[in-house]
């Protein structure tokens, strides 16, 4: 990828390439340059959030992801990354809101978006809500292994060993 200070996409793609090969210091440098030249580039802002996320600097990552979604209200990837960051910060209720925004703005919602919400409800010990959301995930993908695994955990913690075992067996069946 050629570095061209006048080409916003080239700079952003270079930053993304560095992130994808875990060259985080180089990604940071390129994206800082990008943002100094193009401060309103919500995609570069989101990528800077990914840099901080990879460094486990979740407060900074959250700031950038939140900024990217404020700049582009229908930016589902930004909401998804913001939600994952909040989940890692154990801010489960806030994470649910971001995952719901991810679903709202996604061109085609994926089962794993719902499963993130299931994980939040599990962490909050709001098991029935988790089960209800899991049914939405399985409505999209009836073979979504991670959803079955979460259901097994939830049913086990609810004391329903029969359902827990059934969900775990389905998980094993799917994953081989």
Q: Which pLDDT belongs to residue 1?
A: 44
Q: Which pLDDT belongs to residue 117?
A: 98
Q: How far apart are CA 80 and CA 172, in angstroms?
A: 27
User: Per residue in 127-149, pLDDT tens?
Assistant: 999 999 999 999 999 999 999 99
Given pLDDT bands bounded at 50, 70 and 90, which one contains residue 52?
A: very high
Helices vs. strands in the chain: H and E counts, helices first: 10, 0
The first and second tokens of residue 152, run together, are: 């097994």
pTM given for the model: 0.91
User: Per residue in 151-163, pLDDT tens?
Assistant: 999 999 999 999 9
**Residue with more model confidence, 162 or 10:** 162
Given pLDDT bands bounded at 50, 70 and 90, which one contains residue 9?
A: confident
Torsion sign across C-alpha atoms 148, 152, 155, 157: negative
């Amino acid at each position: 990828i050629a570095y061209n200070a006048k080409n916003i996409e080239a700079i952003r793609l270079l930053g993304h390439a560095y992130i994808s090969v875990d060259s985080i210091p180089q990604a940071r440098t390129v994206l800082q340059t990008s943002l100094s030249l193009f401060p309103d580039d919500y995609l570069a802002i989101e990528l800077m959030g990914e840099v901080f996320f990879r460094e486990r600097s979740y407060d900074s990552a959250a700031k950038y992801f939140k900024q990217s979604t404020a700049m582009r209200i229908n930016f589902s990837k930004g909401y998804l990354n913001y939600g994952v960051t909040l989940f890692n910060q154990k801010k489960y209720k806030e994470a649910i809101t971001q995952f719901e925004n991810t679903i709202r703005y996604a061109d085609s919602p994926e089962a794993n978006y719902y499963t993130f919400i299931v994980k939040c409800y599990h962490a909050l010990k709001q098991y029935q809500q988790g089960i209800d959301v899991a049914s939405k995930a399985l409505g999209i993908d009836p073979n979504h292994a991670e959803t079955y695994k979460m259901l097994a955990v939830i049913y086990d913690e609810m004391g329903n060993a029969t359902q827990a075992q059934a969900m775990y067996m389905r998980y094993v069946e799917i994953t081989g």
